[in-house]
Amino acid sequence: MIPLALTLEGLYSYQKRQTIDFNKLTSNHLFGIFGTVGSGKSSILEAITFALYGKTDRLLLSGDNRNYNMMNLKSNLLFIEFDFLAGQNGQEYRIQYTAKRNSKKYHDVKSSPRVFYKKKGSDYIPISESEITDTIGLSYDNFKRTIIIPQGKFQEFLQLKNTERTRMLKELFSLHKYELSPRVKNLEMTNNAHIQKLEGRLEQIGDISEEQVDTLKKQLATVEATLTTLTSLLKEQEQKLVALDKLKENVQQLKDLQNKKIILDQQKESITQLKKNLANYEYCIVNFKNTIDTLTLSKQKLQALRESLNLDSATLNKLQSKHKKIEADFKLLSADFNRIEELKREAEDLKKLVEIKKLERKAEEGSQRLKNGTKTVAKVIDKIEQVKTEDKKEQERLIALKKQLPQIEIINQAQQWHLKKDSIHQSMKDVTSEQSAFIQQLRKLEEEIVHQLKKQALPFSIDNKTLLMDKLNQKLASEERELKQLNDQKEHLLIQSGLEKYAQALKEGEACPLCGSDHHPQPLDSNTISQQIKHLKHKTENLEKTILQTRKLNSYIEQHIAGIKPLEIQLKNIEIKLEKLHKEDTIHQNKVIKPYEDKEILKEAANSYQQIKTQLETCESKLSKLRDCLLAETKKKDHYQIALTDIQRELDKNINSKEVLEGQIPPSLIEKYKDHNDELLIEKAKKLQEKASDINQLFEKTRKQVEDNKNAMAALQGKIDVNQRHLESETEQTSKLKEKLQQDMENSDFKNIDQIQSMLKLELDMKTSKEKIETYYQNTQRLHHDIQKLTTELNKQTYEAPKHQLAIAKAKETKEKLSEANRQHGKIQSMVNDLSQKLLLQKDLKAQLNKLKLRAADIETLRKLFYKSGFVNYVSSVYLQNLCAAANERFYKMTRQTLSLELSEDNNFEVRDYMNGGKLRSVKTLSGGQTFQAALALALALADNIQHIKQTERNFFFLDEGFGSLDKESLDTVFSTLKNLRKENRIVGVISHVEEMQQEIPTYLNITQNEETGSYIEESWNR
């Protein structure tokens, strides 16, 4: 992850919005963030971690009210925007976060969710938080341990317990893929489940054989023969049953038809009467119904016309009386109506008079405003001229200052040249100092070897270390051979000592119990042997002490030679470094910037540049203010002039309008009302308008009533005339209908109209009635035909129920036997099929079971291999050892080859102290500065591994503590290490209040805090 830009506003002590350009800040690969305690240095790191993870160490708990406490107390807006590169291809991302304070409730701070973007071309496309997290590939805690290390967290990895450190390494190096125990356990459970399932299925199958299948097949053949016999018998019985069922059905059907004939004979009389009524009803419908209905309707119309004529005549009489009264009132109103125009003119003239008085007052006000405005414009013009004069003077001063300004590009180049020169000289000094330290250590080790050799009185030279060790080893081998010879002699004497009792018991002439000889010329002398054994024992003890001293000396010298070899290698490397630095210094000296080779001259030029630049900024600021003032005054002048033009135009307009209105009003009226105020005139005009309006409304209302009354009387008279003609026509039509009805009755069988109306009241459904009659005759005919047909088919046969029941019983018995035989056949066939399938299944299951048991043995081997997290812990320890080795490459140099890191058996860090015989001790015994050096070396090694895993070209590493615990020499060593990291294409940032660090790092941010405006970021390249 490489930062590009960070924008802050309202975060902790940062009140105003400020942006950090990391492209410039990281251009030198080593940068710093400096400032006093509490100035806001660490807040920059908190902003980055909060943007990435939504967490901060200071406000991590839920009850911390993070939104309120993160926001600056003088701010109403908290804003963070972080741009950075991440991933193998260096993809650019952006994260934004905003929180706002409630204007009505100070402690209520509402935040919006963090928003994530990915840059595509020139656009930023919204993405999910998970995509950012996956790209970075680190949890919040591990990010703080390896990339951005805040205060209090730097030594955490060094002092973590084994379990927590293993968990961290699992996440950092994706060691979860080696967590194979659960997967093996799942394999074992699945395999065991399959075995148990197969064993269960084999138990369900039970013991079966081919003999059981053969026996069942013989039983099946017997049952199939029985089935053939029963099927033939059942077929014959069913044919007899079909014939008996048919006879029974015909006899019963004949009986049902005879019963239906009786019912139809009973319905004959009602059908005959229905047929007669239907003929009479149809005749009345055709010949009388239309005439009767029309006559009834005509009578109703006559009654309605007579009632309407009587009502309309009475209404007409009332309207005529009312019309006479309204016409009298209308004549009286006509006289007042003729005076309306006169009243309206007088009211309009009064309104115009009021307008004339208003225009007179506006003209007076406009004249006064025009006079005052002219004076104001004159003052503004004078001020503009003064500003122009002052602006010209400042421009001349600006030109003169620019001519005096030194070339800043040359000054910057000279400063960079001097910085590099100082860096080269400092490096030469550091390397020379390091060389002296190595030589001193080397001499010390050699002196200690010489001292030990002299102490042992050994005349060996130390010029050739290999030859020295060969001589010492030869001496040790010689002493060990001599000791072996002495032990062999001692063993021989001890054997002789054991023969002493036999020698004392020997007598001349008696046989020896060992050799059998009876002659003993020289028997064993026990005193001589004891003295020899005592002498050899003393000599052996002295020789063993000598060998022990020789071994200690060999080990001591071997350890010192082992310490000398790396020192000699380091000295050779230092000589190469010094040679390179001298060459680099010579090349750099040829690139000197001639005018500023002297630092004092460069310093004076830089100070002169800053002074003139400050004067230029003051001059430019003053010019800017003068021009702003000139622009403002010019705009003011233009505004005033436009306003004066508008006032003059309005004044002319008011005077013209007044003259026009005066020409429209009689002079007598003006004279009459010249002393009246506007309110009285308006009130007078209003009353005149209201009076004219009232007269007009009443006149129109009365005129409309006269017209409406006339129209109503004319309409009513017309209606009466029309209804009278309709009455006469309807009376004549009714007479004709009565005559026609009488004539039709005379030509029919009906005597009077009552008989006809009685028949029509039946309201028969002719279609349904005709269908009913037709259906009756059809059913009667069809029934007669069916009875004759069945009588012929039966041919005098009779149905005997007992005989039929006996045939049914026999067929049923045969069916039951056949069903039982089929059941037995199906059962046996099913058993045969089932046993055959089970035999095949049993073979297949046994084969599968054998395979699974072999697999179970393999899985058991894997389970033991990957038991719990043993394999992961082993892989973790390998990674930790590699990490320790990588860290030692720096830690060994930082400590001047006096300390190195190692791992104990339980994977905890220990320190090997070469100043104390290379013995091991706990990391807790390290001083504060040494602990910082060890933690720094481990953190850099972790960062190297993460860079390798993420396959990124550059790596970013940030430190926020630790430098204050180091002495001057350790601080120089750490700083030299940090500078060397630039060669590894790594970006390193440090946060510190230590002044020595600020002097050594040319690219930095300086954080200052002001009580009013909060923290302010100053950039070294803009100072």
Look up residue 57 and give its DSSP letter: S
Mean pLDDT of the 648-661 span: 81
Say if residue 675's pLDDT is above 80: no
Q: In this model, does residue 397 exceed pLDDT 80?
A: yes
Residue range 368-389: average pLDDT? 84
> Which of 172-181, 745-754, 785-794 has the weakest average pLDDT?
172-181
- Does 172 score more than 70 pLDDT? no
CATH architecture for segment(s) 1-151+1004-1015: 3-Layer(aba) Sandwich (3.40)
pLDDT at 846: 83
Taking residues 318-323, report their average pLDDT. Answer: 80
Domain(s) of CATH 1.10.287: residues in the chain: 428-505+528-590
Report the SS3 class of residue 405. Answer: coil
The whole-number pLDDT of residue 853 equals 84
Where is average pLDDT lowest: 515-529, 553-567, 653-667, 779-793?
Answer: 515-529
Check residue 389 and give its pLDDT.
86
Residue 169: how many other CB atoms lie within 10 Å = 26
Cα separation, 220 vs 405, whole angstroms:
124
The answer to whether the Cα torsion of 594, 599, 600, 604 is positive or negative is positive
pLDDT of residue 645: 84
What is the overall mean pLDDT for the chain? 81
80: pLDDT confidence band, cut at 50, 70 and 90?
very high
Q: In this predicted structure, what is the pLDDT of residue 947?
A: 66
pLDDT above 90 (res 141): no
Helices (H) and strands (E) in the chain, counts: 26, 16
CB atoms within 10 A of CB 763: 6
Q: What is the mean pLDDT of residues 141-148?
A: 75
Question: Quick one: pLDDT at residue 619?
Answer: 87
pLDDT band at 518 (very low <50, low <70, confident <90, very high): low
Residue 685 pLDDT > 90: no
Mean pLDDT, rounded, for 470-492: 82
Whole-number pLDDT of residue 150: 54
pLDDT tier at 174 (50, 70, 90 boundaries)?
A: low
- Cα angle 43, 44, 49; round to 5: 90
Q: What is the pLDDT of residue 10?
A: 92
* Average pLDDT rounded to a whole number, residues 297-303: 83
Q: Positive or negative CA dihedral for 69, 70, 72, 77?
A: negative
Furthest CA-CA distance within the chain: 206
Secondary structure of residue 147 in the 3-state scheme: coil
Task: Tell me if 19 sits within 8 A of 5, measured CB to CB.
Answer: yes
Averaged pLDDT, 422-432: 87
Q: Is the pLDDT of residue 880 over 80?
A: yes
Two tokens, residue 43: 């807040």
**What is the per-residue pLDDT across 960-1017, written as a single tens digit (0 to 9) for each?**
655 666 667 667 766 777 777 666 667 888 888 777 777 778 888 999 988 888 999 9
Does residue 96 surpass a pLDDT of 90?
yes
Question: pLDDT band at 94, cuts 50/70/90?
Answer: very high
**Residue 384, pLDDT above cutoff 60:** yes
pLDDT of 391 reads: 86
221: its two tokens: 């053949």
Burial class of residue 694 in the structure, from the number of CB atoms within 10 Å of its CB (0-12 exposed, 13-18 middle, 19+ buried) = exposed
Closest C-alpha among 470, 452, 482 to residue 543: 482
pLDDT at 962: 53
- The mean pLDDT value for 146-161 works out to 64
Percent of the chain residues past pLDDT 70, beyond the cut: 90
Q: In DSSP terms, which residues pair with 2 in a beta bridge?
A: 85
Fold of the CATH domain 428-505+528-590: Helix Hairpins (1.10.287)
Q: Please give the pLDDT value at position 117.
A: 94
Q: What is the pLDDT of residue 238?
A: 80
Q: Which residues contact 153 (CB under 8 A, 6 or more apart)?
A: 57, 144, 145
Spatial CA neighbour of 149 closest among 936, 929, 879, 924: 936
What whole-number distance in Å separates Cα of residue 940 and Cα of residue 937? Answer: 5
**Does the pLDDT value for residue 176 go beyond 70?**
no
Per-residue confidence at 20, pLDDT binned at 50, 70, 90?
very high
pLDDT for 483 equals 82
pLDDT at residue number 970: 67
Question: Would you place residue 511 in the very low, low, confident or very high pLDDT band (cuts 50, 70, 90)?
Answer: low
- Comparing 820 with 346, the larger pLDDT belongs to 820
Q: What percent of the chain has pLDDT over 90?
A: 5
DSSP 638: H
The most confident of the ranges 78-92, 263-277, 312-326 is 78-92
Delimit the CATH 3.40.50.300 region(s) of the chain: 1-151+1004-1015
168, pLDDT greater than 80: no
Judged against a pLDDT cut of 60, whether residue 153 lies above it is answered with no
pLDDT digits over 111-139, tens only? 888 999 999 988 999 999 988 888 887 88
Residue 765 in 3-state DSSP? coil
- pLDDT at position 524, please? 58
Q: What letter represents residue 100's amino acid? A: K
Q: Which pair of tokens denotes residue 398?
A: 């600006």
Tokens of 734: 């009714």
Task: Give mean pLDDT, residues 757-771.
Answer: 80
Which pLDDT value is given to residue 403? 82
